[in-house]
Amino acid sequence: MRALIQRVTRASVTVDGQKIAEIEHGLLILVCAMSGDTETEADKLAQRISKLRIFKDDAGKMNRAVSDIGGACLVVSQFTLAADTSRGNRPGFSTAAPPEVGNHLYLHFAGALRGLGLAVQTGEFGADMAVSLLNDGPVTIWMDTADRS
């Protein structure tokens, strides 16, 4: 699975003019299930992100995880993280998991974060979403479970 993690002061998702999710200080996590991914990858990604120390401690060092600061997570499905831009000008998305698998793993990932004690809000899988955020830092980190064995 792939994720783009942003440390945020606030973030929200709007669908059809209605705000469906909103968090204050925490993480905006854009996530994409890749072809061949399973719940194991979703669980590993949730574990890694939950322990990611990117929030400042009292000395101003990035030494705290989202749970340490009482932050929340806003999880948004984003199949475009699977973009293959190696040929031509139009990205291909054939490496993304099929929609039914992607939705299942997206929901499983959000549930895994909740299971780790984190407050989690979600976007709407497959919807045309307007995502608003105030990036804090800015701190933006890319993770891919395929990068680790």
Q: Return the active site residues.
A: 78-80
Alpha carbon distance 34, 105 (integer Å): 10
Quick one: 13 exposed, middle or buried, by C-beta within 10 A (0-12, 13-18, 19+)?
buried
Alpha carbon distance 49, 84 (integer Å): 24
Number of H helices, E strands in the chain: 2, 8
